[in-house]
Amino acid sequence: MYCRNCGKEIKDDAVFCQFCGCEVGEVVVKTNNNVNVTWKVFARIAKVLGIVCLATSPLLGGFDAIPGIVFAKLGMKSTDPAVYEEAKVALRNNIAALIISSVILTLFFVAYIAIIFIAAENGGL
Ligand SMILES: [Zn+2]
């Protein structure tokens, strides 16, 4: 395994890292477990929100992507690489949803302004 503190490779049954002296192994894993479950739940929520937001953000203006970004950021605090990776993908999806809807909203806004100008030019307003 690798030391959580300095990242160097250490023996799997080591309790202390022989390089930096940081406590590793069972003790750390056990105390982190409850927290990791929380991060895992947050990562899962972020994943679902990311998928939902990608589908609905253009309609909702992208604001629905913000909770997903927050949950994904929290999920990325997990020391479990699988949960971290899941949260990272969810973060990417939520940010993508936010960007896509921002672009669409901007296009709508530009089109709206253009229509008003054209209407004004033609004496319609
Ligand atoms: Zn270390």
**pLDDT tens digits for range 6-56:** 988 888 888 888 899 888 765 545 556 677 788 899 999 999 988 888 887
Whether pLDDT at 69 is above 80: yes
**CA torsion angle for 26, 27, 30, 33 (degrees, to 10)?**
-100
pLDDT given at position 125: 57
pLDDT in tens, 107-121: 989 999 999 999 888
Which pLDDT tens digit goes with each residue over 53-68? 888 766 666 777 888 8
pLDDT at residue 90, rounded to an integer: 92
| Rounded distance from Cα 16 to ligand 1 centre (Å) | 8
Closest CA to 40 of 6, 7, 86: 86
Per-residue model confidence (pLDDT) at position 89: 94
pLDDT (0 to 100) of residue 74: 92
pLDDT at residue number 86? 93
Q: Residue 105 has what pLDDT?
A: 85
**27 Cα–ligand 1 center, Å:** 15
Q: How far is the CA of 26 from the centre of ligand 1 (A)?
A: 15
Concatenated DSSP letters for 39-101? HHHHHHHHHHHHHHHHHHHHHHTTTTHHHHHHHHHHHTT-S-HHHHHHHHHHHHHHHHHHHHH
What is the rounded CA–CA span in Å between residue 107 and residue 77?
A: 36
Measure 50 CA to ligand 1 centroid, in angstroms.
Answer: 35
